[in-house]
Chain A
Amino acid sequence: MNQHPRVHQRWSYWKGWPLLGKSVGALMLLLIYFPLFWLALMSISERPLSGIPFPLSLEHYAALWQDTRWIGPFGASLAMALLIGVLCAVCATYVGRALPLTRRPGRLMLLLVLPLFIPGMSMGAALFILTRTVLGLKLGFWSIAVGHFIWAFPFALLIIMVLTTRFDHRLIEAGADLGASKWQIFRDIELPLLRPGIVGATLFGFLLSFNEMLRTLFLRGTTETMPVWNWIMASSQQSQVPIIFALTTLVLLVTLPLFLGLFWILFVRLERQ
């Protein structure tokens, strides 16, 4: 360490640093949300692909309502995302607790996060070649679920591991010394401490599955999920992009208040109590 920090690192006391950090975030949020609101605006424009909002029209929402084909894929994606979210939370919690107790957690960890490094299309193609070309299985909902789980699980695991690796194991030993059963220890000591991680794991599992596309393309058989449907519509000859804009806007209108509310309850209201 430096012997004379206050002399040598005066720059690090600069009052502007927090402002800089804040501005970075504000800029990124702007860049993320500006196109979203522009998209919402475009969804009521007559020529959504032109980048010019006027003249306004509600015709794309009418078309979306006329067209019921998106409901199936939407439901499929929702069901898949819920399944993957729950699976991820359960498996990641179990593995995340057990892994640090093994002798070589580093190597197992590497095995478990391996799918993070394999680009989606490669992983999808690898699973496709094995299941379809080599084993001759019929692909569908189950194979998409396998592909999604492999993709989402490392995220869920890492989120849980951030908590379990910092976990003071003496708490568990203290619990055991006091005569608590394994289940009691888990429920009363570990679960409350791991809760943010478990919520995060579920959420990541859900979100990664809901918009997953690259693996699904290979593993879907004939099942359609929402991103696949969007993709087919966008490349089809009857341009359906305006409908997709309308649909995305609806999803935004539902998720934005929902999540703002949910997070406020989780992190502000519950904490105060």
Chain B
Amino acid sequence: MKETSVSQLQLLRSRRDFLRSAALGASALALPLALDLPASRLWAAGPATVRGYGVTTSQLKDWSVMAQSIGVQMEFTGTGNDVGVFLRDVVAAGLGDQTDIFVFEAGTQDILGPRGTYLPIDTQHPALTLWERTPDEWKHSRVVQDAEGNQWGVPVIGNADSFGYFPEKLGLDPDSEEELSWSLVFDDPRTRGRVSFDRTWGYSLPMAALYLQSKTGKPFSNCADLEPEETRQVVDFLIERKRAGQFRTLHTSFEEQIQLLSNREVDVINCWEPAVREVNLKLGKDATRYAYTQEGYYKWGHGAYLPVQAGDRDNLDAIYKVLNYYLGGEYRALQARDRGYAGPNMDLAVAYARENDWSAEDIAALEETERKIARKFSKPLVSTTTPSNADSMEEQWQRFLNA
């Protein structure tokens, strides 16, 4: 069976320089000896390397840009958005032994911080030059602090999620910025059978609760961390909608979001904003839109957290340089351009774009992202990935799936 890899390498060899292929071949041979290491470590050289692990969303499309700017190389291992898997990897698999930075959605610091798994952030670290100028609403938010106000992380990116839709199908102007109701997802007869709903309970239950409380006028204690009885109410509502045929399908992955939209299988979908971007690249500008809503949004933020083991490492300065980079203009500008996500210090992003001669259109888009975020964040927001009622929420979600 060895021929498989050999011929594959030969096939590739014709495409590019011999040296690179030889390195690949050598590393493939060395693999059985070094299987516990991420493969990219095998050819990474130099001391200023930082190993990251976390949600792929936070990745730059090309990390070499950062290496050029601050002289630190990033080896990033991407993972899904699943908090259970992340906690298991960090706690059970001892990921901190070989990782310098974790990037994940807010909430894990409440559990892993007090348990001594994370290293507190040294806000006075000399490499963290942008800390002072970072606004409190980002640096002291619950994304990076625990309930007692301990600083466990540095803010990376964030957004307020709603749903994507086809304006023409709903009879709306393509460039309309009208605030739409979440009833388009849950209730509207116009969209019956034309909705895809995310199958992740931590994402979809809070959105449903947000809509239901404005519909009934009875607010929940916390839409993102529902009490068992409240979860039951929300799920009863969802089951009723499911039986009424509101949902065409439940999706599970980003690639599925794109497929459903670009094949026009659904008219409305509670997806991530980059899916809408990706689809519009193919279907044309404003073919799909990401909604401004009346009721509110699912707000999330990613923080960068350090494993406690990183405290003794000789690359700690490099690690802090990367943390500082997350607060800087280059990272901010690239993330906003590529995904439409915001974060702290958007003004630095605009400044960076001007210095680097970005087109007027791209600069306008950055300013637009800033404006969009401000507008969305003024609405009610629900957020958390680690609800204390996770057990009953997961359990009730199963009831919805089985109904």
Contacts and interface: CB of A to CB of B under 8 A. Distances in A.
Nearest to B99: A222
B1 A235 contact: no
Interface of B: 1-5, 7-8, 11-12, 15-16, 24, 27-28, 31-32, 35-36, 38-40, 42, 55-57, 59, 61, 77-81, 89, 92-95, 98, 252-255, 258-259, 262-263, 272, 274, 278, 282, 339
Given A47-B262, A78-B1, A236 B31 contact: no
A235 B253 contact: yes
Given A81-B1, A254-B4, A254-B8, A237 B35 contact: no
Given A65-B16, A74-B5, A140-B35, A239 B254 contact: yes
Contact of A79 (B31, B40, B94): B31
Interface in A238-273: 238-239, 241, 250-251, 253-255, 258
Interface residues of A, number: 47
A47 B258 CA distance: 10
A61 B95 CA distance: 32
Given A65-B16, A132-B92, A79 B81 contact: no
Contacts of B282: 46-47, 50
Contacts of B1: 78, 81-82, 85, 206
Interface in A182-239: 206, 220-224, 232-239
A232 B8 CA distance: 23
B56 A238 contact: yes
A258 B1 CA distance: 9
A75 B28 contact: yes
Contacts of B27: 71-72, 75
Contact of B36 (A46, A65, A223, A250): A223
Contact of A78 (B4, B80, B254): B4
A2 interface: no
Contacts of A232: 56, 78-80
Contact of A75 (B31, B252, B253, B278): B31
A49 B8 CA distance: 25
Contact of B93 (A73, A74, A222): A222
Contacts of B15: 65
A49 B40 CA distance: 28
Nearest to A49: B259
Max count, chain A CB within 10 A of own CB: residue among B2, B59, B80: B80
A128 to B, nearest CB: 8
A-B interface, 6 closest residue pairs, ranked by CB to CB distance from nearest = A72-B39, A236-B56, A75-B31, A49-B259, A235-B253, A79-B32
Interface in A74-105: 74-76, 78-79, 81-82, 85
Given A49-B255, A234-B255, A250-B11, A68 B40 contact: yes
B262 A75 contact: no
A68 B12 CA distance: 12
A59 to B, nearest CB: 13
22 contacts: A49-B262, A50-B259, A50-B282, A71-B24, A74-B5, A74-B28, A78-B2, A79-B32, A138-B94, A140-B36, A141-B36, A221-B93, A221-B94, A223-B35, A232-B56, A232-B80, A235-B253, A236-B57, A237-B56, A238-B56, A241-B255, A254-B4
Given A49-B263, A78-B5, A81-B1, A237 B57 contact: yes
Given A234-B255, A254-B4, A254-B7, A76 B78 contact: no
A255 B1 CA distance: 9
A65 B2 CA distance: 20
Nearest to B92: A132
A69 interface: yes
A139 interface: yes
Chain B: interface secondary structure? helix
A138 B94 CA distance: 8
A75 B5 CA distance: 8
A237 B93 contact: no
Nearest to B80: A235
Interface string A114-152: 000000000000001000110000111100000000000
Nearest to A144: B35
Given A78-B5, A258-B3, 14 more contacts: A49-B262, A65-B15, A68-B40, A71-B24, A141-B35, A220-B93, A221-B94, A222-B38, A224-B77, A236-B57, A237-B56, A239-B278, A254-B4, A254-B11
A76 B31 contact: yes
Contacts of A46: 282
A46 B12 CA distance: 21
A255 B4 contact: yes
A72 B31 contact: yes
A51 interface: yes
Contact of A238 (B24, B31, B59, B79): B59
A118 B155 CA distance: 43
Contacts of A223: 35-36
A76 B40 CA distance: 13
Nearest to B85: A217
Contacts of A68: 24, 39-40
A156 B278 CA distance: 46
Max count, chain A CB within 10 A of own CB: residue among B8, B56, B255, B263: B255
A79 B32 CA distance: 6
A180 B1 CA distance: 35
Contacts of B77: 222, 224
A50 B262 contact: yes
B324 to A, nearest CB: 24
B15 to A, nearest CB: 6
A220 B42 CA distance: 19
Contact of B28 (A65, A71, A235, A236): A71
Contacts of B8: 250-251, 254
Contacts of B255: 49, 234-235, 239, 241
Max count, chain A CB within 10 A of own CB: residue among B77, B79, B253, B339: B253
A222 B89 CA distance: 7
